[in-house]
Amino acid sequence: MIGHNIKSIRGREILDSKGYPTIEVELSTEAGVFVASVPSGTSTGKYEAKELRDGGDKYFGRGVQKAVQNIDQIIAPKLVGKNPQEQQEIDNLMIELDGTIDKSQLGANAILGVSVAVLKAGAGAENVPLWQWIAQIAKTKPVLPFPCLLYVEGGMHGRGDVDTQEFMVVIEDGSFKEQLRLGTETYHTLREILNKKFGKASTNVGLEGGFTPPVQETEDVLDLIMEALKKTGQKKAKIIIDAAASTFFRNGRYYFEGEDFNQQGLSDFYTKLCQKYPIIGIEDPFAEDDWVGFRGITQVLGQNINIIGDDVLATNLQRIEEAQKKGVCNALILKPNQAGTVSETIKAAKLALEHNWDVFVKHRSGETCDTFLADLAVGLGTGFLMAGAPNRGERVAKYNRVLRIEQEMQNI
């Protein structure tokens, strides 16, 4: 392995898809140069590992120059000369160097950027595709994921008309390539329907490429999606909604669609939706600290519906373990930047999979064109990839990467 050891690491400030700074890391070994960049959220949960931002005037305080300095001056000197295939050891070293529980000293953005670049260099040293290397170190079975295509965005991601943040469609029919085609055709069909009903401005898209029509009610959006699915003849389509309920929770109440719900009221609302529409998952139906609400809905709907924890679990091992013990949620959103290292992300996924939970590998609203997420979903065999709409380059890049992997798998 000599010759594949890390020769250099440097960070730089680049822009994410929202036009705010994020981290890119360039790592070199004899095998080549490996580049990784990290995403950033908008409806960020409070239990996530913390990004380091500069404050001050530049980029409205959102610069990441300090995180870049931490990469160049603190992390790089410790990692140069190390074997990039020692992912766990390198991640542990960065966790130690940081010394905080939430990675706020060096910045989770700095640490994750390096961690993913190391992972890519590890695959390079082995001369295998990234997804295969991930499966090798995680001891998992690679599987192509179902694409969960985003159709409509509301809440903090859209124009603010509908409170539910995301409406996704999964068409479990045929190969990945076929599912992507059917889902994308239906997305374009929905555009035509919206155009006719509300005019062209209604097909502007939100942060993750979903349409942002002037519709206030969750049910009305679902009706529009059902109309599109009917028009394209999709019989195997299922829907997942992301309520992102922390964003409309204040002082113990849920302010949603002009009403003021308690836990029971909101739970009844979701139950009715699930009876009326082919919903297979609800992400963050309650706020991140409302474990009572989560447990209640998992008891009522959990038999047939994925109650998917995002903000509530924050890709955090302890929180996942506790949620499993208490019957809170039955499925996991896996976001590497919530954890802050590749190793912790892999452990979180495995903990969920061992518990027979479905795992949804998910992007952030502020993305880059890095396609690591696609390899992660395949390599860990999680079964689902949420990378946004079939629209906007940084989203499509991930689905396109899976198309490439689909071919790579056929050739191996």
Per-residue tokens: 189: 């069909």
Catalytic hit among 208, 283, 288, 344 = 208
Identity of the residue, 36 or 313, whose beta carbon is nearer to ligand PGA in the bound complex: 313
Residues in the interface with ligand PGA (CB under 6 A) total 9
Contact 353, 84 (CB under 8 A): no
Task: For residue 308, give every residue at least 6 positions away whose Cβ sits within 8 Å of its Cβ, in sequence order, or none.
Answer: 240, 242, 281, 282, 283, 284, 329, 331, 332, 333, 358, 360
Binding mask 225-264 for ligand PGA (x = CB under 6 A): -----------------x----------------------
Burial class (CB in 10 A: 0-12, 13-18, 19+), 351: middle
Shortest reach from residue 309's CB to ligand PGA, in Å: 11
Binding to ligand PGA by residue 344, rule CB under 6 A?
no
Identity of the residue, 54 or 242, whose beta carbon is nearer to ligand PGA in the bound complex: 242
Cα 135 off chain centre by: 19
Residues 360, 256: Cα–Cα separation, whole Å: 25
Determine the Cα angle at 218 with ends 212 and 221, to 5°: 50
Residues 58, 358: Cα–Cα separation, whole Å: 41
List the one residue from 120, 238, 319, 364 that touches ligand PGA (CB under 6 A).
364
Burial class (CB in 10 A: 0-12, 13-18, 19+), 316: buried
Residues 319, 55: Cα–Cα separation, whole Å: 30
Catalytic hit among 103, 335, 362, 398 = 335
Binding to ligand PGA by residue 104, rule CB under 6 A?
no
Identity of the residue, 43 or 140, whose beta carbon is nearer to ligand PGA in the bound complex: 43
Which window, 10-18, 138-146, 270-278, 358-366, contacts ligand PGA (CB under 6 A)?
Answer: 358-366
List the one residue from 13, 18, 20, 42 that touches ligand PGA (CB under 6 A).
42
Is 335 a catalytic site residue? Answer: yes
Q: Give the residue ranges of DSSP H helices in 127-175.
A: 130-138
Binding mask 288-327 for ligand PGA (x = CB under 6 A): ----------------------x-----------------
Q: Which residues bind ligand PGA (CB under 6 A)?
A: 41-44, 242, 310, 362, 364-365
**Residues labelled catalytic:** 208, 335
